[in-house]
């Protein structure tokens, strides 16, 4: 059993994952002086298999599995994730909470030859392994060519610098957190360009019955971030979101109200189904489910029914 004053944090080994884990560790240390905090770096299948797209090897959940095993086997007490990488439905043995203030939700356009996707010449190549980003890019600039790219942020940027493609789309939050904001040529902003569900937010996963860890995390919860992510993830849960179909969302809170944009893309036709609604900030899940139903009625049901089988 873990000593009462000790917490072990499971994390992936990439620079960004370690930054996120250290950020949460620092926040825990501030909230609980004297707490003994240990990082437990692990490698995941999502990090190891880099020659195929995430959708073809099982989706973003591959970034979580080994960390969940470590928590379940009591080799770690919690794990830090990018909330956007956490599947819509969580294993019942675990609980999830968002922590700290949400970072920039926007996607970043990175290039040495253009300041914006619309400035690229026809036939230029843009690297991203995200179907959500690919379909929005095709809608904005149909003449551009999307190419898959895997690896951590620095590996991807090195490929861009070697001239393997003309531009790349990454998350602004990751670049900002790694001190690489200067690489961003344009921030692709909602609602015109929608981010991944809960993009920019940090999540902590722990054993559902571990009330000690739950109580330690309580001071780290940012109410605004929690409400916005709850709306987006509720929408995603109804849609049974995965890497197979591009799903995007962005919630914005204004006092006691919350507005939610949602979208589902068809990888085959390039069609993007969109929905928007406003609801009470104290009932974010209700709003998320309502936007999901609107998307389904508007054509998303057909798209989701045709998703590839694994």
Catalytic residues: 85
- CB-based contact 215:35 (threshold 8 Å): no
Which H, E and C letters describe the chain, residue by residue? CCCCCEEEEEEECCHHHHHHHHHHHHHHHHHCCCCEEEEEEECCHHHHCCCCCHHHHCCHHHHCHHHHHHHHCCCCCEEEEEHHHCCCCCCCCEEEEEECCCCCCCEEEEECCCCCHHHCCCCCEEECCCHHHHHHHHHHCCCCEEECCCCCHHHHHHHHHCCCCCEEEEEHHHHHHCCCHHHCCEEECCCCCCCCCCCCCEEEEEECCCHHHHHHHHHHCCHHHHHHHHHHHHHHHHHCCCCCCCEEEEEEEECCEEEEEEEEECCCCCCEEEEEEEEECCCHHHHHHHHHHHHHHHHHHHHHHCCCCC
User: C-alpha 25: how far from its chain's center?
Assistant: 20
Which among 183, 196, 185 is positioned nearest to 239, based on CA atoms? 196
User: Contact at 8 Å (CB) between 144 and 126?
Assistant: yes
CB 102 within 8 A of CB 253: no
Of the candidates 138, 174, 233, which has an alpha carbon nearest to the alpha carbon of residue 15? 174
Count other Cβ atoms within 10 Å, centred on residue 90: 18
């Amino acid at each position: 059993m873990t000593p009462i004053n000790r917490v072990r944090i499971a994390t992936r080994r990439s620079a960004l994952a370690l930054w996120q884990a250290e950020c949460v560790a620092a926040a825990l240390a501030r909230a609980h002086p004297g707490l003994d905090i240990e990082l437990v770096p692990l490698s995941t299948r999502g990090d190891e298999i880099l020659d195929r797209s995430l959708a073809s090897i099982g989706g973003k959940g591959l970034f979580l599995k080994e960390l969940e095993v470590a928590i379940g086997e009591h080799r770690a007490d919690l794990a830090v994730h990018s909330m956007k990488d956490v599947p819509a439905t969580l294993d019942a043995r675990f609980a999830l909470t968002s922590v700290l203030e949400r970072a920039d939700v926007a996607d970043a356009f990175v290039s040495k030859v253009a300041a914006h996707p619309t400035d690229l010449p026809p036939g230029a190549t843009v690297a991203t392994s995200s179907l959500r980003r690919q379909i929005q890019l095709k809608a904005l600039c149909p003449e551009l060519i999307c190419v898959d790219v895997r690896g951590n942020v620095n590996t991807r940027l090195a490929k861009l610098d070697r001239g393997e493609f003309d531009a790349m789309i990454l998350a602004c939050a990751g670049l900002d957190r790694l001190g690489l904001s200067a690489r961003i040529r344009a921030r692709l902003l909602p609602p015109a360009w929608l981010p991944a569900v809960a993009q920019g937010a940090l999540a902590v996963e722990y054993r559902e019955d571990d009330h000690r860890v739950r109580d330690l995390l309580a001071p780290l919860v940012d109410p605004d971030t929690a409400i916005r992510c709850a709306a987006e993830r509720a929408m995603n849960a109804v849609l049974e979101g995965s890497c197979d179909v591009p799903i995007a969302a962005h919630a914005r809170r204004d006092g006691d109200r919350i507005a939610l944009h949602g979208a589902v893309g068809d990888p085959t036709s390039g069609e993007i189904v969109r929905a928007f609604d406003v609801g009470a900030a104290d009932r974010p899940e209700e709003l998320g489910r309502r936007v999901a139903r609107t998307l389904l009625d508007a054509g998303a049901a057909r798209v989701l029914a045709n998703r590839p089988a694994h």
